[in-house]
Amino acid sequence: MTAEEVLGSQTADQECQDCGYEPELKRTLGSFQVFAVSFAFISVAVGIFGTYDDVLRDAGPVGIWLWIVVALGQTLVALVIAQFAARIPLSGSSYQWASRLANPKVGWLFGWLTFCYLALGVVTVDNAMASSALMPLFGMQPDEGTARMITLAVVLVQAVLVVFSTRLVGLITSGAVGLELVIVVVLAVGLFVAVAITGEGSVGNLTSRGVTEGAPNYFAVGGGLMAATIMGLATLVGFDSAANMAEEAKDPFRSVPRAIVGSVVAAAVLGLVFLIALTIAIKDVPRISDSDTPVAAILRDQLGPVMERTLLVAIVFAFFGAGMVTLATCSRMVFAMSRDARFPAHRLMRRVNPRTQTPIPATILIVVVGVVLMAALPGGALLELLTVGTVISAVLYGGIIVLYLAVRKRLDRRAGAFDLGRFELPIAICALVWSAFVVFVIVSPSSALTSILIAIGLLLAGGVYFAYLLIFKREVLDTEPGDADVFAH
């Protein structure tokens, strides 16, 4: 570590102790690895690969331009979250921020929402990898049962790696991010070159409504154009995952907030270039719009089957990295809540293995959740999990912004740490307006009712345990470990 990283790590460890926690997790993540955690969670290739078909069917090729709108809005949210990350470098991120700056009851709500969002995310990502990338790569016919078995096997492998070493997680995610950056750039350039040489494809696709031409309610609330925002909203999320790993980051006051903002900006720019290249390269808009894997079909048309298989290999690796990061960050949220005795089976879930310095029981819990979801949910419900996660993340981000606006004046200012300065208030207000708009966009379609009901059900399930704490363990929700004013000036 550099002298700056050593000093930052020591200061972060001291603040951890001031908060009533003995540093148990090993600080092994450097600046790029912290960035890789957030970028791997976002995963541009995974997000576009999984949702581009929805954009073509709902809004037509022109719908890709909504990516810019979503990217600007999510960047505003990331800037606000980075303000918190620069001041409170604790595992549990939003849970800790709300517990220490509002009260433990609000913190519990933030923590439970984050746990649900991340636990669902692990299954959603790995099941999508199995059905849309891994099985086609090996020429396997679509089969829901097979996809579920592969999903569970992948979750188990990821859990073993997460348990074994945080450093290994950082190395794998860094490799996944490096490969994703290279493959997306190479594919974008290759598509531009192929279209220029063959003349097959059209710049006019960028303004085409495709199969949605003449569709009723295209511009209506909940209509086709609005629905196309799902690609950006489902992709440009999870940037706060770096904050969940703050107790394992070197100099988290600098590396974590930079990773949060940098990952969103990098993903936004890279994704836009890739989307433009893909859209221009479409030879037959109706045929590609009808495909379940339009990205692979475009690459096969323009670059041949070898490049298509190369893409699938890269996509599998990117999916795996995204799922593993999601699992790791979810286990840290469980650990953070458990060491405050605010999570079920907290005595077990807070245990850290002295050799690996990782929370093994909390990690195993995520595997158990995956098994339950795979066994209990029908295929149609699994498809809803993507929207459920998007709903929960939008509500959570909105709550974080409200919290920041309420407490920003009493937050400590750290020299050299990330700080928006005089721009913090207008950025926070704009971010709050954007978050409210996102929630409206997600819940407005009638098809979102099932997802909303699932999200409410998850909240009510957590509410049962919250009620238990209020009745039988009220002191847990009335007191905070350590110095309550450590982050206030």
Per-residue pLDDT tens digits for 281-293: 999 999 999 988 8
Side-chain-side CA neighbours of 199 within 13 Å: the count stands at: 0
Residue 108 has pLDDT above 90, yes or no: yes
Buried b (16+ CB within 10 A) or exposed e, 11-24: ebbebbeebebebb
- Contacts of residue 60, Cβ cutoff 8 Å, sequence gap at least 6: 208, 209, 210, 211, 212, 213, 224, 285, 289
Q: In this prediction, what percent of the chain has a pLDDT beyond 90?
A: 44
In this prediction, residue 241 carries a pLDDT of: 87
In this prediction, residue 402 carries a pLDDT of: 95
Judge residue 471's burial from the number of C-beta atoms within 10 Å of its C-beta, 0-12 exposed, 13-18 middle, 19 or more buried. exposed
In this prediction, residue 488 carries a pLDDT of: 59
d(C-alpha 474, C-alpha 482), whole Å: 18
Residue 8 has pLDDT above 60, yes or no: no
Residue 438 has pLDDT above 60, yes or no: yes
Mean pLDDT of 302-326: 86
Write out pLDDT tens, residues 40-83.
Answer: 888 888 888 888 998 999 999 999 999 999 999 999 999 999 99
Q: Tokens 């479409």 — which residue?
A: 282
Side-chain-side CA neighbours of 349 within 13 Å: the count stands at: 21
Mean pLDDT of 181-210: 90
DSSP state of 132: I
In this prediction, residue 168 carries a pLDDT of: 80
Closest CA to 177 of 267, 51, 241: 267
